[in-house]
Structure 1
Amino acid sequence: MTIPTEPIGSIPRPPALQAALAEHAQGRLSDADLTRLQEEATAETLARLAELGSPLVVDGEQAKPSFVTYPLSGLGALDPHGAVIPFEDGHTRQLPCLTGGPFRYQVNAAEYLRTARRHTDRPIKQAVIAPSALSLLYPAEPIDGYPRETFLSDLAHEAEADIRGCLDAGADRVQLDFTEGRLSLKLDPSGALLDDFIALNNEVLGRFSETERARLGVHTCPGGDQDSTHSLDVDYAGLLPKLFQLKAGNFYIQLAGEAEPERVLRIIADQLRPGIRVFIGVTDPIDPAVETPEQVRDRVLLAARHIPVEQLGTCDDCGFSPFADDTSTSRELAFAKIDARLRGTALAAEALGL
């Protein structure tokens, strides 16, 4: 037996692709040329992960505008002035706001998966956005002729199709990105918003069989954009008991960037149930220092004191560049940290006699 280890999703785009994105935004590069460069970056990302020995590979989200907004590309019924997400360093991200219905995904994640499959025969993990994040698109004032209840029903249907499409296209693992879980407790300390998020996500996850849910996972983190977070100050104790109510077989939990990792591990241990695996973050994407394999090993061994090894895995804390315009972390730094995760997890497995 070994300790499974998986990337979370995004990897910084190559400088040439970053330049191409800027040219495309200014109308100086065609859609076809941008698509070609995105696919080249995808192929190179997959090849480098394979060279490092990653058991599961990802496309690095080279073609996504962001981890959250990919389903919206081309959707007309949007106002750009929606919910604002503030980060600790003062910068913000803003979601668009829905102005009409019915709500339909314009892009499904399986499209990215099929592109990746052309360039690798390795098992592929595909990240999708959790429906709870997209529920924030609906405005505070009801949309005339399109009530919130109808929107949520449409959203659940679209999210199910997004996940199922990835499974049908051969994804070894499908990961729901749920960074808004921790953030919800900052927006609404009562926990009512988090309860709504959990209920919506479970409405979707509950439509899958036990066998299918073994291939599904949920990722939580306090955000990671431009080397800043949006909810690291929110106590995990408020989130984790609710998180583990989700009907998924795998949980990816940011931990390397936590001030009190052993306290978090004790909370996780109290919430464990049979049949799930917990992947703990062992590298911090917003820390410019590259972890050594020995540091990673020690983090895994600490986790193994609280989580049975047969239910333990490792991951990076978060994606390295969840928004396409984020250049705060270099591509080479990201791959160095991934290499440390892979080597350190192997050292831990050896130390545990696996």
Structure 2
Amino acid sequence: MTQPERNQLSIPTEPIGSIPRPKNVLDAIAEHTAGTLDDAGLATVIDDAVADTIQQLQAAGSPVVTDGEQAKPSFVSYPLQGLSLAPDGAVIPFADGHTRTLPRLTAGPFRYGANAATYLAAARKHASVPVKQAVIAASALSLIYPSAGIDGYSQSQFLDDLVDGAEADIRSSLDGGADSVQLDFTEGRLSLKLDPSGGLLDTFVDLNNRVLDRFTAEERTRIGVHTCPGGDQDSVHSLDVDYVDLLPKLFRLNAGRFYLQLASETDPERVLSAVSEHSRADQRIFVGVIDPIDPRVETPEEVRDRVLTAARYIPLERLGTCDDCGFSPFADDVSTSREVAFAKVAARVRGTALAASALGA
């Protein structure tokens, strides 16, 4: 192995998850919904997109890849197939005025209709490097239970079923060969907007820890948590919430890895100081060095400088890099092109390697 290769690997760097779907995938989904394309035809189109996504991530030098969530309707809704749902659940408002609405559970029991391990198996067929798998956090799915309750199916029963399903979703991915499993926890920062007292955030952390505590300490080194202020159609839902208010409780989560949005923060050093204060020695911190919402592709030198700043606060043996969030968490988000997404990934990989070299790693 050459010295540059060693430097590149000395600071791990990973994508968060979603990559914009190509137009033929979006067209195929629409045709399948309309009944003019069968299941096999849709599966073929999606498999081709997964193969292309992984090939391009590897070509960009990514030492770890994902399937780009090409087959997921969204990062949050993949487990909800086959449930009894109404469309009028919790509404998530974004800064530009658009909203996303979660479904509302109308009857129990709650069961996962799709498992992330299925996406993992499809991705591993095409990858020659390790594959990470993103899953939705139990706290996000808890929002589909209505505040008015469900006759004959208590919230306590729902949460028990949810924790069982979330554990199985993570465990099957670990057992299926995932390099790591990432819990998407974008609702963490949003919870402080909905409830500034922090009570809702406490509930979310406790619920996710019910899941995480079912894994051994060794298994939790391969389980991470991603947090960001949302990223959909080039807008956010909670960037106006003070990050420093989230971090002390975030690091109460019993996970071994944390993927933190940082590139889009106006005062990253203030955030890094809080990360240094509140994170534990057994938690690896992946700092966001790419802003998926910014249409400009960062230079490797910009990425390098962001990493060098983070290294002043986080020990090198605990430091990694990532994108702030996925490039297209919802399938219909085409605000960023695939070409720009892959160019940003390449900049992250090259910039991280430059930083490792500068640090003498």
TM-score, with normalisation over the residues of structure 1? 0.98
1:349 equivalent among 352, 356, 359: 356
Q: CA deviation at 1:120?
A: 1.7
Distance in 2 of aligned mates of 1:14 and 1:95:
24
| Residue 36 of structure 1 pairs with residue 44 of structure 2 | yes
The yes-or-no answer on 1:25 pairing with 2:33 is yes
How far is the alpha carbon of 1:22 from its aligned partner? 2.3
CA distance in 2, matches of 1:158, 1:324: 23
Give 3-state SS (helix, strand or coil) of 1:228's partner.
Answer: coil
In 1, the alpha carbon distance for the partners of 2:211 and 2:172 equals 14
Matched residue SS, 1:175: strand
Q: Equivalent residues in 2 for 1:95-106 (5 A)? A: 95-106=102-113
Could you report, residue by residue, the CA deviation over 1:193-251 in whole angstroms, capped at 9, with x for unpaired residues? 00000000000000000110000000000000000000000001111000000000000
Q: CA offset at residue 31 of structure 1?
A: 2.0
1:219 aligns to what SS in structure 2? strand
How many angstroms does 1:285 deviate by? 0.3
2:238 aligned residue: 231
Are residue 154 (structure 1) and residue 166 (structure 2) matched?
no
Residue in structure 2 matched with residue 213 of structure 1 by the alignment: 220
How big is the shift at 1:137? 0.5
Q: 1:275 aligns with which of 264, 277, 282?
A: 282
Q: Tell me the distance in 2 between the aligned counterparts of 1:143 and 1:8.
A: 35
Pick one of 128, 131, 136 that aligns with 2:135.
128
Residue matched to 1:73: 81
Which residue in the other structure is 2:311 paired with?
304
Amino acid at match of 2:60: L
Distance 2:287 2:129 in 1: 23
Structure 1 regions of 5+ residues with no counterpart? none
Give the percent of matched residue pairs that are identical in Structure 1 and Structure 2.
68
Deviation per CA, 1:82-112, whole angstroms, max 9, x where unpaired?
Answer: 0000000000000000011110000000000
Q: 3-state SS of the aligned residue for 1:121? A: coil
d(CA) in 1 for partners of 2:60 and 2:96?
33
Deviation at 1:50, TM superposition (A): 1.3
**Which residue, out of 192, 202, 215, partners 2:209?**
202
Match status 1:167 vs 2:183: no
Q: CA deviation at 1:338?
A: 0.2
Moved over 4 A (4+): none
Is residue 50 of structure 2 the alignment partner of residue 50 of structure 1?
no
- Which of these residues, 70, 77, 92, is aligned with residue 62 of structure 1? 70
Q: Secondary structure of the residue that 2:320 maps to in structure 1?
A: strand
Whole-Å Cα distance in 2 between the matches of residues 108 and 44 of structure 1? Answer: 22
Displacement of 1:52 in angstroms is 1.7
Q: Distance in 2 between matches of 1:166 and 1:24?
A: 27
In the alignment, the residues of structure 2 paired with residue 308 and residue 279 of structure 1 have an alpha-carbon distance, to the nearest angstrom, of 12
Aligned counterpart, 2:3: none
| Number of residue equivalences | 353
Deviation per CA, 1:161-198: give whole Å up to 9, x if none: 00000001010100000000000000111110000000
- After superposition, the C-alpha distances for 1:295-323 in whole angstroms (9 at most, x for unaligned) are 00000000001111111000000000000
Which amino acid is the alignment partner of residue 58 of structure 1?
T
Please tell me the root mean square deviation across aligned C-alpha atoms, in Å. 0.8
Q: Secondary structure at the match of 1:36?
A: helix
Q: Is the 8 A contact 2:109 2:158 kept in 1?
A: yes
Deviation at 1:24, TM superposition (A): 2.3
Give, in whole Å, the separation in 2 of the partners of 1:113 and 1:121: 13
Provide the TM-score with structure 2 as the length reference.
Answer: 0.97
The match for 1:15 is 23
What is the CA deviation profile of residues 256-288 of structure 1, one whole-angstrom value per residue up to 9, with x for unaligned ones?
A: 011111110111010121111000000000000
Q: Are residue 176 (structure 1) and residue 183 (structure 2) matched?
A: yes
One-letter code aligned to 1:8:
I
Q: Which runs of 5 or more structure 2 residues have no equivalent in the other structure? A: 1-6
CA distance in 1, matches of 2:301, 2:208: 37
Secondary structure of residue in 2 paired with 1:140: coil
Take 1:143 and 1:133, find their aligned partners in 2: how far apart are those partners? 18
How much does 1:121 deviate?
A: 3.1
Q: Specify the SS of the correspondent of 1:280.
A: strand
Q: Deviations over 1:46-98 (max 9, x none)?
A: 111112221111000000000000001232x1111100000000000000000
Moved more, 254-263 or 44-53: 44-53
Q: Which of 337, 341, 344 is 1:337 aligned to?
A: 344
